[in-house]
């Protein structure tokens, strides 16, 4: 197959591309230039996609002996990931930019361009597995290394794009093994630190990034009864479950910590309260992407995960009859700090069943 290997400049993508070469595929490496402001993606960035990463990707391609190109996807990235991130926070929701990046950049812009150029698949360094049934049906599964599993942020891609995706690291025993393999192959990125946090918020200050984009918007912080207990400089900078940085004027009557329970963008209000008020047992999601569509309205047992590195919890779910793309999930044990905008991914064991964006929760 002709395979387009996404080379981020990190160890995972380099080893994934090497394994694709070993498998006999005709591999071409491509690095996605995502920054419109090169100062934002600088040396010392906590994320990925820096200028240095492009150089590391080129050197990896040289070692592997594959052609290498840089594709400028910065305008698409700004529109579909960065602008969406800001708009979601402004609307009182908590987005996951890695999910949006996989949806719109790696498995839409990159894949679609690759297919148009005659490539059969895109290869990435994600930790997830693709299983192929006897009838050719593909299913997305958790990685062998549970600590590195990235099926949660990949679930949004759906079955059609999964058919053109390759994840050679899905069966890797551990990240240490991948680093050792990179060193044995002579790849200079073998000891390169992992990227983390949000790549376009280089200093890790999400509130500061949002404030630069959205400006100062002072408002009130109220408790669950509506009493004013503090002020804020922008409700957009808060998320459900947040405890630090609330700067409240007075403590709770019982002296216990308070957490963000709700963000109300219409009134520019942040609601805080006791920890136990964060627990919800039901969520509603929209824009569902199904890998194994169920019958409308029929409840089924599954597990649900609501954070990239969160623990799956036993749940019951159903596709809402007559409401295209809507999902209901019940978690009897409860979920704490779940915010609208987060992704909820349903599993059957290791297999991904569906992904949806949380719109509301209930206790």
* Residues classed as catalytic: 101, 199
The count of other CB atoms within 10 Å of the CB of residue 135 is 5
> Which residue(s) pair with 142 in the sheet?
128
Contact 16, 23 (CB under 8 A): no
Rounded to 5°, angle at Cα 285 from 351 and 206: 95
DSSP 3-state of 53: helix
Exposed (0-12), middle (13-18) or buried (19+): which is 281, by Cβ within 10 Å? middle
Query: Looking at residue 279, what DSSP letter applies?
Result: E
Which residue shows structure tokens 């840089």?
70
The count of other CB atoms within 10 Å of the CB of residue 166 is 23
Residues in the chain: 363
Which residue shows structure tokens 């990685």?
143
Pick the closest to residue 237 from 360, 93, 79, 124 (CA basis): 93
CA dist., res. 231 & res. 268, Å (int)? 10
Pick the closest to residue 126 from 4, 6, 12, 34 (CA basis): 12
Distances (CA, A) of 47 to 42, 127, 351: 10, 18, 28
Distances (CA, A) of 38 to 42, 84, 201, 253, 310: 7, 20, 12, 49, 32
Which residue shows structure tokens 């992704």?
343
Pick the closest to residue 6 from 27, 31, 26, 25 (CA basis): 31
Write out 133-168 in H/E/C secondary structure.
CCCCCEEEEECCCHHHCCHHHHHHHHHHHHCCEECC
- CA 283 to centroid of chain Cα atoms: 19
CA dist., res. 263 & res. 272, Å (int)? 9
């Amino acid at each position: 197959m002709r395979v387009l290997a996404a080379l981020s400049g990190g160890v995972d993508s380099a080893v994934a591309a090497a394994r694709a070469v070993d498998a006999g595929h005709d591999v071409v490496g491509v690095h996605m230039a995502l920054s419109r402001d090169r100062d934002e993606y600088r040396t010392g960035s906590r994320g990925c996609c820096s200028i240095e990463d492009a150089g590391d990707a080129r050197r990896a391609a040289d070692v592997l002996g594959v052609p290498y190109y840089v594709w400028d996807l910065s305008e698409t990235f700004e529109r579909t990931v960065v602008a969406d991130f800001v708009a979601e926070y402004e609307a009182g929701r908590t987005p996951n930019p890695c999910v949006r990046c996989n949806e719109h950049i790696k498995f839409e812009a990159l894949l679609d361009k690759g297919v148009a150029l005659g490539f059969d698949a895109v290869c990435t360094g994600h930790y997830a597995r693709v299983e192929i049934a006897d009838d050719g049906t593909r299913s997305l599964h958790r990685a062998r290394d549970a600590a590195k599993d990235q099926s949660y942020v990949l679930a949004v891609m759906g079955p059609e794009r999964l058919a053109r995706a390759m994840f050679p690291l899905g069966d890797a025993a551990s990240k240490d093994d991948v680093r050792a393999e990179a060193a044995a192959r002579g790849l200079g990125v073998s000891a390169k630190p992992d990227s983390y946090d949000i790549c376009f918020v280089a200093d890790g200050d999400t509130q500061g990034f949002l404030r630069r984009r959205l400006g100062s918007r002072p408002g009130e912080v109220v408790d669950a009864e509506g009493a004013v207990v503090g002020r804020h400089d922008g409700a957009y900078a808060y998320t459900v479950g947040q405890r630090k940085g609330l700067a409240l004027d007075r403590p709770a009557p019982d002296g216990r910590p308070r957490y963000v329970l709700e963000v109300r963008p219409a009134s520019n209000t942040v609601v805080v309260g006791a920890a136990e008020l964060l627990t919800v047992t039901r969520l509603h999601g929209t824009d569902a992407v199904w890998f194994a569509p169920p019958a409308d309205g029929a409840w089924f047992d599954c597990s649900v995960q609501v954070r990239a590195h969160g623990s799956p919890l036993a749940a019951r779910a159903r596709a809402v009859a007559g409401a295209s793309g809507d999902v209901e999930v019940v978690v009897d044990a409860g979920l704490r700090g779940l915010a609208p905008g987060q992704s909820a991914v349903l599993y059957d064991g290791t297999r991904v069943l569906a992904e949806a964006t949380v719109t509301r929760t209930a206790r």
